[in-house]
Structures are given as structure tokens and as C-alpha cells.
Amino acid sequence: MSKVLIILTGGTICMVRNEETGALHPASLTLADAITPELRSAHIVAEVLSFSPLIDSSDVNPDNWVRMAQAVYDHYSDYDGFVILHGTDTMSYSGSALSFMLRNLGKPVVFTGSQLPMGMMRSDAKENLLTSIEIAAAKDEEGEALVPEVTIYFEDRLFRANRTTKRNAEHFSAFNSYNYPALAKAGVHITYQPHLIHYSDPAKPLQLCDKTDTHVAILKLFPGITREVVHSVLSADGLRGVVLETYGAGNAPSVKWLYEELQESVQKGLIIVNKTQCNTGSVEMGMYETSINLLKAGVLSGYDITTEALLTKMMCLLGEYGEDTETIKTLLQTPLCGELTLE
């Protein structure tokens, strides 16, 4: 028998329609009847920990990430794996955040949800939930977890959470991992890809890093962006970190004022990381003349990281290391749990 804890936070999977407004809102989810026969035949026991109130994931904030991570940490030795039921809208942010908060993770934490509520015709809820539970319970012959990472399972793919982006509001394949292959695919059988899975050092105990700093921003460049807009973002009160969304391989307009604004901010201690607006591929500063100014201004490379992973990593590192800017800068350019590839 394997034991899995289901942490229910909200999302479409547990929503019902408000008769007056026609809008979906989280209600509650009675899982026992829906999945008991399947779990019994798979020799899995699942228990549910429900958050109150249940929320739409558009309302999720760093305090909620801490609650999710704390729930895993508190129940870590009682279960073989964890499934977090969560809305799809910000699932990639939460999954990324938990991958940085649960350091040295040695058990599966699988995020899932659905595009249609449980019980609705053609709903993807039950299949997503059951396969996620199976993955959370899966072990090898030595009894070691097959995927001891924070992941997202959706439709028929298991992805490393900190590599995902929500890509579809209509189809059941809501997520993609553009820069890293799927860790498993589910058909008649679940095919795992052990060579792609990240394994923490088993000698190190699970550590909960639950401090975050939200003094961060995303600045997306566009043709015609003005100095006033750039300046007002970079000079926001208390700002400590910026995800600079650039073009292509990490390029930006070569106008002098942009260089001056960035350089001045970096000199004042702001951490600015270059993230390409493209989903696939990596930042390569210096490849074009239009990125040389960024390098000179002290902007760091985000390589092939997602915006979701970069932003949450920044929040966690700023929370943990405080004023130690040099350590934060080094770690931002170091893969901590498979979130980026340097080459």
C-alpha cells in the first residue's frame, strides 16, 4: 500500500456555477466516492487536506505558496507522495515557487487540476487526478520514489513544474514545457524518463525555505517603449529584482537612455535578469550588438528559464538571502533544481 496526501487548494476542478451570475467559483470536492474503487485496485490510500477557503488560483499569493509548502513539510514522513489540486491560471507560478521552497525534496509533489469541473460532461478532472495520484505513489524496486520532484501533470504529460507555462485556456493540454522534455507520458502505461529526472542528494534532509520578498517586477520591452515607463518601473519604491523581458536571444533597443537607466539601477543595487520573450530557446547576451549594452550595464542572463520560474526564484532568494546581493546574483545564474540549462 502506498499513501498519498491530496492537498486541495481550489481551482476549476472543485468549482460549481453560480446560478445568478453564471460564473464558476470554488465550492468543495468530495473525492472519496469519485476515486475510491480505482485507488483500491491500485493499492493506494489517499487522504485529503482541504484549504479553507478554497480559491481560484488567480487569488493565489506567496502566503498560499508557504501554506502549500508547509503542508508538504509537516506531513512529509507520513506519505509517499503529494498531489496538490490547484487552478491552472497560476499553477506554473506555484509549482515553480514550491520547487525552490522545498529544498532537497526526495518525494513526489504533483500539481494538477482540470479545465472542466469534476462531474461535468467530458471533464478532464478525474483522469488528471487519478494519474497524478499514481505518479505520486510510484516507486522503483528499491522503494525509492520514481519522480522526487515538484511536477505538473496535465492531460497525458508530466512536466518539471519550474519549466512549465500555461499555454491554453481551451484545450485539455493546458501546459507546456518549451525548454525541457516531459518527465513521463501517460498512455496505456506511464512511461517515465529517469535520465531527465532531477534527484536531490538523499543524505540531505528536506529543508523548508519559506521566506519570500515580493519587491520584484516584470518589465516587458516593446517597440516604442518610453524612458518614462522604464524609469517608473525601475524606480518603484523598494524594488529589488526585475525580470527584463527582451526580444529573441536577449536583445533590447540600443538607445543610450535605456543603457543609462539599466546601468544606474544596477549600480544602486537592483538585480536585473534578462529573460527572452520567446518561449523556446535561451538568452545569449553578446550574440547581437543589441544585447552588448545589457551586458555592459550589469544585466544578468536568465538563460532558458521561464518567467514564472525566474520571478519566483527571485522572490525566494531575496527572502532567504536578504541584502546579500552577490549570493543572490550567483544563485540566479545557477541551476538549483533543474529550472535552467547553462549551455
Q: Footprint of ligand ASP on this chain (CB under 6 A)?
A: 10-12, 56-58, 87-89, 113, 115
Mutual angle of helices 325-332 and 307-321, in 10-degree steps:
150
For 165, phi and psi rounded to 5 degrees?
-145, 140
Pairwise CA distance, residues 45 & 36, whole Å: 9
Tracing cell 498512455 back to the chain, one arrives at 187
Residue 198 near residue 149, CB atoms below 8 Å:
yes
Catalytic hit among 12, 88, 112, 276: 12
Local structure of 16: helix, strand or coil: strand
Residue 232 near residue 184, CB atoms below 8 Å:
no
Confirm whether 306 is a catalytic residue: no
Distances (CA, A) of 60 to 20, 129, 135, 187, 254: 25, 20, 25, 32, 37
Pairwise CA distance, residues 237 & 47, whole Å: 44
Pairwise CA distance, residues 82 & 46, whole Å: 9
To ligand ASP, the closest distance from the beta carbon of 276 in angstroms equals 26
Q: Residue 23 or residue 203: which is nearer to ligand ASP going by CB?
A: 23
Cα 23 off chain centre by? 26
Q: Residue 64 or residue 282: which is nearer to ligand ASP going by CB?
A: 64
Residues designated as active site: 12
